[in-house]
Structure 1
Amino acid sequence: MPDRQHLNGAGWQSPATTANGARPPASRPPTPTLEEPASSASIDYTVVRQLRRRISEQLTAVLRETPNVSHEHRQAEGERIAARVVREHVDALGQAGQPVSLRQETELLDAVAADLFGLGRLQSLLDRRDIVNVHIVGCDNVRIEHIDGHISSGPPVADSDDELVSMCQVLAMRAGATERSLSASKPWLDMQLPDGSRLTVIYQVAVRPYVVIRKHTLIDVTLEDLRDKYGAIDALLYDFLTAAVDAGLNIMIAGLADAGKTTMLRGLSARIPEDEQYITLEESRELGTHRKRRWVMSLEAREGHGARAADGRPAGEVTISDMIPITLRLSVQRIIVGEVRSREIVPMLQAMSTSRGSMCTIHARNARSVIDRIIELALQHGPEMTADLARRMAAGAIDLIVYITVEDETRLGGRKHRHVSEVVEVGGMHDDRMVTTTIFGPGPDGRAVPRHLPDRLRDQLVRVGYDPRVLTGYIQLGDSNHGTWTTPLLSLTRRA
């Protein structure tokens, strides 16, 4: 088995260890600082906009003669015109005594193409594989988080804040089948970019436009990967979680923002048999399972626009809460919700109580607060909902809570560590109290180790070939139990 790795930095990287796997002497890396990355040849974006307008005019004239062309044909024709127009511009500069190198011409053509068909100046950030997160405050404050955890600053992404907003509005219009908008009446935007990254925009209610791009470095991930490559789970957790999926248990994945909940959901989903049909519901598509699985039905919420309907909602709005009831008529066993964040928790619990193998993610500060978070969201459903009813619904619908911990030590000169820290069995209600069993709990270094044998779920796990008794020896070790984690957690604040 290859060495385990830990989810360090915003990407998931292997820790440094000595040849025998021991932790090297503690040393603190330099504190991350904002620094300017090495830049390529300077691009005059005033020229880029001028060339883009010229290309757009010529493309419009050409397509006027051949209406109803495909998007692929339109882009191919645009690229042909762009190459010619840029070449003419470069030739003109050469004749004027301002020669342009082949590299500069290529960069200019790429910038024009990105402005015409892509994401403008944002495109260069998306094309870099060393970047995981980008935070933009106004057009000229660009904070880049790299896979290795260090922070750098990037060049301006627009010449003005208004241009940045206009760029994002164009992206919203290009969102595809699911409508998106960014306007004075709706000054925020959340959408998936063509490469699978997530774009979030807020303006007007902020001092300056605020744009966040979150790149997903792990789209095709399995539970084996989370065990062998990234150190999110150990061998005991792997065996237990694979059995949980095989047994059709309803699983809620919890954790803080950026803990790796969506990645864990992808890993669990990859365990579902390829010929099984299931449904994914998301506010903004992130899971990407429909791209690899033929029978996955991927549904995305739709924003409303214009006047409000009789119920007070924007006309045309379709929420996850709206879609869950109809999915129950589609003859599938599993429903997977990318993230439960509002009143859709109630139909989600209703769906879980009548299905097998459904999964979702939810934000929570720790495993013990997950049920409180469920109740808090359920109370938004309406006056007929009570805390006791929400608790009973959760007790009857959820089988397992998998909690993922993220320890961010980047400010200390370290990395981000992500790992499963708890797996809790939900055992129903007894004497008006919810019964839970911590099957895996935090060990000496915070990573999950066996604590108790499953109770209510035991028979379901046994039926798919899992023997819970394998956990017994580790449970008897008590506080000295390290599970089967094979490499140390290289944390600056924990010393196990």
Structure 2
Amino acid sequence: MSTNDSQPGPADLGSLPFLNPPAPREHAPAAAGHLLRSATRAAGVGRIDPTAPAGFTPPPAPPTPVAAPLRDRSAAAAGAAQGQIPWEAVGEFREAVATFLAEAGQADPTMSDEDRQNLARQHTAELIRARVDDMTRARGSEAAWSADQQTDVAQAVFDAMFRLGRLQPLVDIKDVENIDIIGHDNVWLTIAGEDRVKYPHPIALNDDELEREINFIATRRGEGGRSFSSARPTLHLDLPGGARLAANARPILQRVGLTIRIHRHVDISLADQVASHTISQTAARFLDACVKAGLSLVTNGFQSSGKTTMLRALADCIPSHEKIATIENERELYLHERTEAHPLVLAYEYRPGEGEPGVDGARSGEYSLIQALKDSLRHTTDRIIVGEVRGEEIKAMLQAMQSGIGSMSTLHSQSPEDSIERMVTLMMSDGTNTTPAYCYRQIAQNIDLIVQMARIRDRETGRMRRVVTEISEIQPGEDSYGVARPTLSPIFAFDRTSHTLELGTLPSRGLLEKLADVGYDERELSPYGKEEAS
């Protein structure tokens, strides 16, 4: 698939289906419909008002709201729409609809989520129509909400109840990649290829409300629900549709801090990376052979450099018959959603515990990455992929590389050289008596390649883009006073003058022999076959 031809749409972050929802079950309207009619009469909708002007005809109810009108808007269009939404009315309608659904749930305890959403849409439409009627009678039709405003209000109520509330229009902005929030009125967006821009509107009345909204999002994840408050001030969540949320509450921050990272390229291949000029054709063929040969790779780079996207593209090279386990603190690889490419994927996710740590240091209900690794081995997996390595994940990563074939992970550091020291630091940070010599030996024995990523400014377009800047082989180093630091051999290196990915040194004979087993011809690494990366 080409990223240019078939990009995934904006992240759909609702935990419940809401695009073209199925009709309610046959038994639901009987009880809920009665409540809807009662609520409508109480709101004055559908009855003749004797004080209405002669010839007055109430405007029609707004169409049943769906997510589509707000999707793919530009940042400017989304900002303009948000500025026209009466948020006090949205809050009022949300409370009314919540009360209505609670009563409907008591009348029919077996009501499905789809039924609840449909009833919420219907009741919201009735409330809006009643409000527009009142506005028209009081001040004339020109003072009433326009059709677009009615649609936006209806969607805002739905988002507040079932999605991300006032955050939802932000994630629906076309090509948005990052949402950075420090306080309810300090919101910044990163659009693909552009610098951060400030969003013109607050996304809550105050920081207290923002904190409550984040807690609402966190706690409604069913069995995976988490809390967010001053008592639990750190939150990390994966959000359906390819996004990751990180938040910190007061008092560990002066103001509530929230970051949403939206992964636009979930279904991606190395061919797509070549098409976007992230990597050269020669380097892509080399990495494809490395994955098929079962080598272990680490994609390395700073934030937003394209590490996770490259990891997904590398995972795309894994043969479809292989059984894969992904182990992550928060799911963001989403290989389990690509069932055609990878029908056998066990997607493990860390789960925090509650209460005080026990004798073993674990909290009640906690599910650790090491436990996930042990469980995955009992499933006879062919590949074990540990996603982002930021701390204790390093243990799971190295054990996965020892236990399976061709493990992959991502790491945060500036260069392949720095990545080795970063891994040593993480391995020694757990308080055990791990020595640098042991760490270096584990790295040299278990990791084959470092794929370095970076963001550069394209000289032709002036926009930021992501590129592979180096592909290096890790080899054992010479012993120096009992410590053998691994060495790095750059097989490909990015020339920042020409903006091309140049061939470097040949891989070791042992690595070439592994590649030959999967049909790779080392002559492809001939210096006469250099290709531009851009």
TM-score by length of 1: 0.85
Match of 1:267 in 2: 313
Alignment partner of 1:195 is 2:241:
yes
3-state SS, counterpart of residue 422 of structure 1: strand
**Following the alignment from structure 1 to structure 2, what is the Cα–Cα distance between the partners of residues 350 and 328?**
11
The answer as to whether partners of 1:350 and 1:393 remain within 8 angstroms in 2 is no
Alignment partner of 1:156 is 2:210:
no
Task: Quote the sequence identity (%).
Answer: 33
The answer as to whether partners of 1:419 and 1:447 remain within 8 angstroms in 2 is no
**Following the alignment from structure 1 to structure 2, what is the Cα–Cα distance between the partners of residues 250 and 85?**
58
**Following the alignment from structure 1 to structure 2, what is the Cα–Cα distance between the partners of residues 156 and 36?**
15
Which structure features the higher share of helix residues? 2
Alignment partner of 1:71 is 2:113:
yes
How far off its partner does 1:3 sit?
Answer: 13
**Following the alignment from structure 2 to structure 1, what is the Cα–Cα distance between the partners of residues 108 and 496?**
69
How far off its partner does 1:327 sit?
Answer: 1.7
What CA deviation, in whole Å up to 9, does each residue of 1:23-73 have, x standing for no partner? xxxxxxxxxxx9997613611111111111111111100111211433223
How far off its partner does 1:335 sit?
Answer: 0.7
After TM superposition, the structure 1 = structure 2 runs for residues 123-138 of structure 1, keeping only pairs within 5 Å, are 123-138=168-183
**Following the alignment from structure 1 to structure 2, what is the Cα–Cα distance between the partners of residues 141 and 35?**
16
Match of 2:506 in 1: 453
Label 1:115 to 1:444 Cα distance change in 2 as closer, same or farther (>3 A). Answer: closer
Match of 1:342 in 2: 391
**Following the alignment from structure 1 to structure 2, what is the Cα–Cα distance between the partners of residues 150 and 441?**
26
After TM superposition, the structure 1 = structure 2 runs for residues 307-318 of structure 1, keeping only pairs within 5 Å, are 307-318=356-367
Corresponding letter in the other structure for 1:438: P
How far off its partner does 1:167 sit?
Answer: 0.4
Label 1:130 to 1:100 Cα distance change in 2 as closer, same or farther (>3 A). Answer: same
Label 1:444 to 1:162 Cα distance change in 2 as closer, same or farther (>3 A). Answer: closer
After TM superposition, the structure 1 = structure 2 runs for residues 59-208 of structure 1, keeping only pairs within 5 Å, are 59-97=101-139, 98-154=143-199, 155-204=201-250, 205-208=252-255
3-state SS, counterpart of residue 458 of structure 1: helix
Label 1:312 to 1:346 Cα distance change in 2 as closer, same or farther (>3 A). Answer: closer
Match of 2:469 in 1: 421
Match of 2:48 in 1: none
Match of 1:463 in 2: 517
Q: Which of the residues 366, 369, 372 maps onto 2:415?
A: 366
The answer as to whether partners of 1:255 and 1:363 remain within 8 angstroms in 2 is yes
How far off its partner does 1:124 sit?
Answer: 0.8
**Following the alignment from structure 1 to structure 2, what is the Cα–Cα distance between the partners of residues 436 and 329?**
34
How far off its partner does 1:310 sit?
Answer: 2.3
Label 1:347 to 1:286 Cα distance change in 2 as closer, same or farther (>3 A). Answer: closer
The answer as to whether partners of 1:250 and 1:400 remain within 8 angstroms in 2 is yes
Match of 1:472 in 2: 526
Corresponding letter in the other structure for 1:451: G
How far off its partner does 1:409 sit?
Answer: 8.5
Label 1:85 to 1:194 Cα distance change in 2 as closer, same or farther (>3 A). Answer: farther
What CA deviation, in whole Å up to 9, does each residue of 1:334-367 have, x standing for no partner? 1111111112312321221221111111111111
Corresponding letter in the other structure for 2:516: V
How far off its partner does 1:461 sit?
Answer: 0.3
Deviates more, 1:428-437 or 1:156-165: 428-437
Match of 1:214 in 2: 261
**Following the alignment from structure 2 to structure 1, what is the Cα–Cα distance between the partners of residues 491 and 196?**
38
**Following the alignment from structure 1 to structure 2, what is the Cα–Cα distance between the partners of residues 279 and 3?**
25
The answer as to whether partners of 2:297 and 2:407 remain within 8 angstroms in 1 is yes
**Following the alignment from structure 2 to structure 1, what is the Cα–Cα distance between the partners of residues 115 and 371?**
37
Structure 1: unaligned runs, 5 residues or longer: 5-33, 476-482, 488-496
3-state SS, counterpart of residue 121 of structure 1: helix
**Following the alignment from structure 1 to structure 2, what is the Cα–Cα distance between the partners of residues 183 and 309?**
23
After TM superposition, the structure 1 = structure 2 runs for residues 322-337 of structure 1, keeping only pairs within 5 Å, are 322-337=371-386
How far off its partner does 1:429 sit?
Answer: 5.6
How far off its partner does 1:430 sit?
Answer: 5.1
After TM superposition, the structure 1 = structure 2 runs for residues 206-355 of structure 1, keeping only pairs within 5 Å, are 206-228=253-275, 230-293=276-339, 294-355=343-404
The answer as to whether partners of 2:298 and 2:411 remain within 8 angstroms in 1 is yes
Alignment partner of 1:394 is 2:443:
yes
Corresponding letter in the other structure for 1:219: V
The answer as to whether partners of 2:239 and 2:245 remain within 8 angstroms in 1 is yes
Match of 1:440 in 2: 492
Corresponding letter in the other structure for 1:404: M
The answer as to whether partners of 2:307 and 2:410 remain within 8 angstroms in 1 is yes
What CA deviation, in whole Å up to 9, does each residue of 1:50-108 have, x standing for no partner? 11111111110011121143322322222222222222222222222343221121111
Corresponding pairs, count: 448
The answer as to whether partners of 1:402 and 1:422 remain within 8 angstroms in 2 is yes
**Following the alignment from structure 1 to structure 2, what is the Cα–Cα distance between the partners of residues 48 and 189?**
27
How far off its partner does 1:439 sit?
Answer: 1.4
Larger radius of gyration: 2
How far off its partner does 1:447 sit?
Answer: 4.6
Corresponding letter in the other structure for 1:464: V
The answer as to whether partners of 1:333 and 1:358 remain within 8 angstroms in 2 is no
3-state SS, counterpart of residue 314 of structure 1: coil
